[in-house]
Amino acid sequence: MRLWMLIVAAVILSFISLFVGAIDIKPSDLLDFDSDKMQIFLASRVPRLMAIILAGAGMSIAGLIMQSLSRNKFVSPTTAGTLDAAKLGIVISMVFFTQVTYMQQILFGFAFALAGTFIFMQLLDRIKFKDVIFIPLIGIMFGNIISAVTTFFAYESEIMQNVSAFFMGSFTLVVSGRYELLYVAVPAIILAYIFANKFTVAGMGEDFAKNLGLSYKTVLNIGLVIVALISTTVVLTVGVIPFLGLIVPNIVSLYLGDNLRKTIPHTIALGVVFLLACDIFSRLVVHPYEIPVNTTVAVIGSAIFLVMLFRGKAYAK
Amino acid sequence: MIEIKGLSKFFAKKPVVEDVSVTIQPRTITSFIGPNGAGKSTLLSMVSRLLDSDTGEVLLDSANVKGIKSQEFAKRVAILKQANHINVRLTIRELVAFGRYPYSKGRLTAEDEQKIDEAIEYMNLVDMQDKYLDELSGGQKQRAFISMVIAQDTEYILLDEPLNNLDMKHSVQIMKILRKLVDELGKTVIIVLHDINFASVYSDRIVALKDGRLVKDGPTNEIINSEALQEVYDMHIPVQEQDGCRICVYFNSHS
């Protein structure tokens, strides 16, 4: 796969995405700047596209970093408790402050996502039995425990329904003014690219990194901050999108290897293409209504994940 | 020269290495031998700073290694732990290029590229330099990692059981390469070995450990004899000469 093919695909899908929806907007409608259709286009379609691009790229990069640092192909924000921890943080902020601000939600979500991922990495360090499948299973269990706590808090304060709607991964509610937080992913991804070589070296283990004079702990911590930052902003703005951070980096790794300098651009592009395709499908399948994108991603993603598990166990070792 | 002075390491108050003092001569292969749990790998890890020592010090050309910056240290001492569990999909060339990391931080200069080429050529990996590590056999993989260490261009090369999981042919190949690194490139190699005959045939000096303590330290000929080995391994080990090499024939011995 060449990078330009992915970019071309992303551009075509972006174009389609802009002109798919309940209200029929044609490119020619955009000639009149003051029309209603133009307003919808600017307030809804463009923000939606940007949100998909940012979330797709961000979640894929977060997964890539986690797989590199945990040295396990099946670890991702979904399978290491990161997303669950971010959710817990956000719910606690809702329970804690009656008039919760956006900033408070971000801070709580970020702090919890960081702490949750950090605890998971510490767990990894202590587990002797490092089977490729076993580790993400522990991560999923860990995530479920966190989720149980979240449910408890949400139930106690009677915001259960709000919470489940809030975290349902979907771009339906993305309008201008409600998604800009996602732009945090841009500096986070740039930072990831700057640190790409360091992540690759750290991905070969602490001893290996130390041999090359690299401060392993610093790199690990920077990686976790990037992951927590991206995960929290995505969860807050569009909800939980499962599997994306798991399958996209793995597909890229299969054809391009694990040298992050090389794979980061492909991972971004493939993440965008995959999420755009899923979103367009979600909007067309019951047109003029739509299904939440996380449903589509979960169905396609889990199928790909299963194929990876069965066919790729040898490769993931 | 590396001087190890009174080095100890405790795990849960139990000594794993206790008061070991050894001087490593430049341009030699020094083998660390001894039964399981003797503390060979722990000692090697402390010399290479992967582990902190609890007492004692390691001097690298008379400077305490703890005072040397990580970057600087990585240009002078390379350590290769058992590499067979590394599952990263890099090509051989990408891996070898990371050997230049202490110098270039990943932005390779023309000089780096040249060193990478040389290292790959030295290990006869030119034809397969674009193959991924997970497509290689154990012996090829080990050669790729040694090639990276050559690109790292350090005076000292420390290896922790590099023959693990290798068959006879590849073990011999790796040991011959290490010999060449010392004889041709003037490197100093410290190696943890399980197979006493590889230690006997290829090393200049042998350091024997047992229960964390130094038992023997000297030129290979002084260590590879039945009396000295009895002390290290608690078993009778007959030694025979074969083409000028001393071979331990312990397979049928009565302890």
B185-215, pLDDT tens digit by residue?
A: 999 999 999 999 999 999 999 999 999 999 9
**Chain B residues lying within 8 Å of A205, measured CB to CB:** 86
The helix/strand count (H/E) of chain A reads as 14, 0
Residues on chain B touching A210 (C-beta within 8 angstroms): 49-50, 70
What is residue A124's three-state secondary structure?
A: helix
In this predicted structure, the answer to whether residue A103 has a pLDDT above a threshold of 90 is no
Q: How confident is the model at residue A136 (pLDDT cuts 50, 70, 90)?
A: confident
Q: Mean pLDDT, to the nearest integer, of A161-188? A: 84
Give the chain A residue nearest B133 (alpha carbons).
A257
Residues on chain A bordering chain B, Cβ-to-Cβ distance under 8 angstroms: 71, 196-198, 200-201, 203-205, 207-208, 210-215, 253, 257-259, 261, 315-317
Per residue in A27-79, pLDDT (tens digit) is 888 888 788 888 888 888 999 999 999 999 999 999 999 999 998 888 999 88
Residue B102 pLDDT > 90, yes or no? yes
pLDDT band at A315; cut points 50, 70, 90: low
Using a CB–CB cut-off of 8 Å, the residues of B that contact A are 48-50, 69-75, 78-81, 86-91, 94, 98-99, 101-102, 105-106, 132, 134, 152
**Tokens standing for A263?**
């794979």
* Interface confidence (ipTM) of the complex: 0.89
- Bridge partner list, B11: B14
**Confidence at A200, pLDDT banded by 50, 70, 90:** very high
Q: b/e map of A5-15 (b: 16 or more CB within 10 Å)?
A: ebbebbeebbe
Q: Check residue A277 and give its pLDDT.
A: 96
Contacts of A206 (CB under 8 A, 6+ apart): A216
Question: How many pairs of residues across A and B have Cβ atoms under 8 Å apart?
Answer: 68
**pLDDT bracket for residue B84 (50, 70, 90):** low
Average pLDDT of chain A, as a whole number: 89
Contact A212 B91 (CB under 8 A): no
Report which of A153, A168, A152 is spatially closest to residue A83, judged by C-alpha positions: A168
In chain B, the N- to C-terminal Cα span, in Å, equals 38
Q: Quick one: pLDDT band at residue A165, thresholds 50, 70, 90?
A: confident
Whether residues A257 and B49 touch (CB distance < 8 A) is answered with no
Mean pLDDT of A237-241: 88
The more confidently predicted of residues A173 and B12 is: B12
